[in-house]
């Protein structure tokens, strides 16, 4: 074990791995500082660039980015009162009042110190837990791995949104999408509809890019954000905040432990740890200590910042050891494992143990380096929070579509990306959790292999006689009940705070969406019955459960639909008008703009279509001057030419008249 620890450190400090780690940290600091972006968006942008990289440098880039977004998101939380990511919501309550009274630097000093210590403790916790997890994982067989997959899907599905039925149904939809193409235990392709593009399955990168990035960019464009200003800092300095972090060191350590524990619970994550730690700080502070929470109490900054950085190390424990993501971002990281040929569980704790330890070192180094950089450059980095959203959208659109193109140069990738983006927008607007769908898609082949192998090797009586199987069934039942209770509380909290991502409900959009999914699940059953036993076992296991949950979601949406109509005096047209306001119309217009980009690409060529989109978006939607739009478009051309053409040698789609 000690040799693997040292080997892991040597893997990180060698070149170019260390350089990629620092590059990931710098990119992650910027992503966390800009409200509306964050770690998931960053990873789906950079993931295509790691295709030709070795696993360790690739994960240095990814984990360097992931590790520090929960540190730099403090900047906009303190300076603007806007959470940079979901993990910094609680920081706003006391950080922003401190900034308004001129103590932003003090808040930064305390937050960055707490974040660094919390992140390091999270990495140490992961290292300490590996000797405990290793013998446990080695005792797992195929029935246990199948149940672990169900546990992960249940946890993510029930805590990612405001509806349990929608959450688990979304996870099952992800499992069904993973069934497209050749199965793991048969040679007959499934659900490919005679489309050659689908015979090898749905590619992960366009799916993730469309599901997460397109809806977020659409929201950024529709909200028409502008530059904000805050008073210049005149209060307590950075060093005073650092001293505060050590003065309240026991609170910092307790909240780091809270973050590690919540990170280890599959499907929860930094947003929950943020609020739990803040609540602990409030409850544990005595009246004699003069608490001023909500008015600018430094303890209200230290507690959530320590917890949300410690979550990362805790979340990696079930992700690496069990293949169960500890958070939504870990679900994306699990997809990166699959792409790089790494299999969580036994392999990561035996033959690839040095790679696992290298991730621990990456977390520790990234957290320390990121905090030091922010302490030096916090005022300069804060300027990123003032960037007009319209300057972000076209550039990120360029990277997103080129990311989908890098996996395979096929216009079908762009069509899939756009189609999934529309689905992702509907899911976000209607309370259907997107992380659950992605996790189902990633775990699908693993769970199918475990199920088929279990069915071939064990009888039902033998499965139920296995002690670990019985323990996991009990844990699964308990986790489901606790998650349902937690979801109800989270729904009330999100309604009160109005901060939850996938907690919106629009029955006029959600009801048709649920009906379509229900019909697809029912239609899949007779098709699957025609396949060989090994090919139809998993789909026929999924579809009935998905149909039942979708039927319940339809019932709930229909009840809400009727209530909305009743509130509008029984006028369906009036209720629909209230459900589809100006933002929905602008969102539809934005989608049409992206559709035009995809449609024009075969006609005028790939590079001209992207540059034209950037130029016209800034000129018409962003309402920038002709000079600014032209300058930005020239920069976009430079990126396409020097990065993608000369450095990555991307094969371009030419205009139809040049082919």
- Is 36's pLDDT higher than 90? no
pLDDT category at 659 given cuts 50, 70, 90 is low
**Alpha-carbon distances, residue 112 vs 39, 126, 193, 368 (angstroms):** 17, 21, 52, 9
SS3 498: coil
- Is 546's pLDDT higher than 90? yes
| Residue 181 φ/ψ, nearest 5 degrees | 95, -160
Digit-coded pLDDT (tens) for 490-540: 454 444 433 334 445 678 888 999 999 999 999 999 999 988 888 899 999
**Alpha-carbon distances, residue 493 vs 160, 305, 500 (angstroms):** 14, 20, 9
Residues 298 and 284: beta-carbon distance below 8 Å: no
List Cβ neighbours of 486 (8 Å cut-off, separation of 6 or more).
Answer: 158, 159
Digit-coded pLDDT (tens) for 256-281: 888 887 777 655 555 567 767 777 78
Residues 31 and 69: beta-carbon distance below 8 Å: yes
Query: How many whole angstroms from its chain centre is CA 284?
Result: 32
Distance CA 140, CA 323 (A): 12
Query: How many whole angstroms from its chain centre is CA 560?
Result: 29
List, in sequence order, the alpha helices (H) in 139-237: 142-159, 164-177, 204-208, 214-223
Q: In terms of Cα–Cα distance, which of 58, 56, 63, 65 is closest to 11?
A: 56
Structure-block tokens of residue 572? 């369906």
Percent above pLDDT 70 for the chain: 81
Distance CA 382, CA 232 (A): 12
2: left (phi over 0), alpha (psi -120 to 50) or beta: alpha
List Cβ neighbours of 526 (8 Å cut-off, separation of 6 or more).
Answer: none
Residues 452 and 534: beta-carbon distance below 8 Å: yes
Q: What is the pLDDT of residue 503?
A: 43
Q: What is the arithmetic mean of pLDDT over 600-618?
A: 93
Distance CA 162, CA 488 (A): 7
SS3 179: coil
Q: What is the pLDDT of residue 617?
A: 93
Asked whether the bond before 16 is cis by omega within 30 degrees of 0, the reply is yes
Q: How far from each other are the two terminal CA atoms of the chain, in whole angstroms?
A: 57
Digit-coded pLDDT (tens) for 450-499: 898 888 888 888 888 888 888 888 888 876 776 566 555 445 444 443 33
> Model pTM?
0.70
Digit-coded pLDDT (tens) for 110-123: 888 888 888 888 88
Indicate the DSSP class of residue 188: S
List Cβ neighbours of 578 (8 Å cut-off, separation of 6 or more).
Answer: 564, 568
The per-residue b/e assignment along 417-454, b for 16 or more CB within 10 angstroms, e otherwise, is bbebbbbbbbbbbbbbbbbbbbbbbbbbbbbbbbbbbb
Domain boundaries, the chain: 2-505, 582-658
For the chain, what's the residue count? Answer: 659
Structure-block tokens of residue 364? 């520790």
pLDDT category at 173 given cuts 50, 70, 90 is very high
Distance CA 577, CA 590 (A): 19
- Mean pLDDT is highest, among 12-16, 570-574, 582-586, for 12-16
Helix (H) or strand (E) run with residue 366 in it: helix 353-382
Angle between helices 55-72 and 2-13 in degrees, nearest 10: 80
């Amino acid at each position: 074990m000690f040799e693997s620890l040292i080997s892991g450190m040597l893997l990180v400090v060698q070149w170019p791995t260390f350089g990629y780690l620092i590059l990931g940290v710098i990119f992650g600091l910027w992503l966390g500082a800009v409200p509306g972006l964050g770690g998931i968006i960053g990873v789906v942008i950079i993931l295509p660039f790691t295709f030709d990289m070795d696993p360790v440098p690739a994960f240095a880039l990814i984990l360097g980015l992931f590790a520090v977004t929960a540190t730099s998101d403090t900047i906009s939380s303190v300076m603007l009162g806007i959470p940079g990511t979901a993990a910094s919501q609680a920081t706003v309550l006391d950080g922003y009042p401190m900034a308004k009274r001129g103590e932003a630097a003090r808040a930064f000093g305390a937050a960055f110190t707490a974040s660094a210590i919390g992140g390091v403790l999270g990495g140490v916790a992961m290292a300490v837990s590996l000797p405990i997890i290793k013998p446990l994982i080695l005792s797992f067989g195929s029935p246990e791995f199948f149940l672990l997959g169900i546990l992960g899907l249940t946890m993510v599905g029930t805590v990612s949104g405001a509806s349990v039925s929608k959450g688990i149904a979304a996870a099952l939809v992800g499992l069904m999408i993973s069934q497209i193409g050749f199965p793991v235990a048969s040679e007959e392709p499934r659900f490919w509809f005679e489309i050659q593009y689908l015979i090898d399955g749905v590619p992960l990168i366009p799916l993730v890019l469309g599901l997460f990035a397109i809806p977020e960019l659409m929201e950024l464009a529709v909200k028409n954000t502008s530059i904000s200003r805050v008073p210049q800092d005149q209060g307590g300095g950075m060093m005073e905040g650092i001293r505060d972090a050590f003065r309240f060191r026991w609170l910092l350590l307790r909240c780091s432990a809270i973050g590690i524990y919540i990170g280890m619970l599959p499907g929860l994550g930094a947003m929950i740890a943020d609020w739990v730690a803040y609540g602990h700080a409030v409850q544990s502070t005595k009246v004699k200590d003069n608490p001023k929470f909500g008015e600018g109490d430094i303890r209200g900054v230290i507690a959530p910042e320590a917890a949300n950085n410690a979550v990362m190390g805790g979340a990696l424990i079930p992700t690496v050891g069990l293949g169960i993501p500890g958070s939504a971002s870990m679900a994306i990281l699990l997809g990166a494992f699959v792409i790089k040929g790494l299999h969580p569980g036994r392999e990561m704790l035996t033959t690839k143990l040095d790679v696992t330890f290298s991730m621990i070192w990456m977390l520790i180094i990234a957290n320390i380096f990121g905090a030091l950089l922010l302490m030096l450059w916090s005022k300069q980095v804060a300027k990123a929070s003032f960037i007009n959203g319209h300057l972000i959208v076209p550039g990120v659109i360029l990277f997103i579509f080129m990311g989908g193109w890098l996996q395979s140069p096929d216009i079908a990738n762009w069509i899939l990306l756009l189609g999934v983006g529309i689905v992702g927008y509907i899911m976000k607007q209607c309370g259907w959790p997107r992380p659950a769908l992605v996790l189902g898609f990633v775990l699908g082949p693993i769970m199918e292999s475990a199920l088929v192998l279990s069915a071939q090797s064990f009888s039902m009586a033998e499965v139920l006689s296995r002690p670990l199987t019985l323990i996991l069934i009990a844990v699964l039942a308990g986790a489901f009940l606790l998650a349902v209770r937690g979801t109800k509380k989270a729904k009330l909290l999100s309604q009160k705070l109005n901060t939850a991502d996938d907690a919106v409900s629009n029955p006029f959009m959600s009801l048709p969406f649920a009906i379509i999914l229900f019909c697809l699940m029912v239609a899949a059953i007779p098709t699957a019955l025609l396949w060989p036993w090994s090919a139809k076992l998993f789909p026929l296991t999924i579809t009935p459960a998905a149909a039942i949950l979708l039927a319940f979601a339809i019932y709930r949406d229909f009840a809400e639909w009727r209530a909305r109509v009743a509130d509008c005096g029984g006028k369906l047209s009036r209720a629909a008008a209230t459900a589809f306001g100006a933002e929905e119309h602008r969102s539809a217009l934005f989608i049409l703009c992206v559709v035009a980009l995809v449609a024009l690409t075969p006609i005028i060529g790939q590079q001209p279509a992207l540059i034209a989109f950037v130029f016209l978006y800034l000129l018409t939607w962003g309402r920038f001057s002709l000079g600014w739009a032209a300058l930005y478009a020239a920069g976009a051309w430079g990126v396409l030419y020097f990065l993608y053409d000369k450095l990555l040698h991307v094969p371009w789609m030419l205009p139809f008249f040049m082919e």
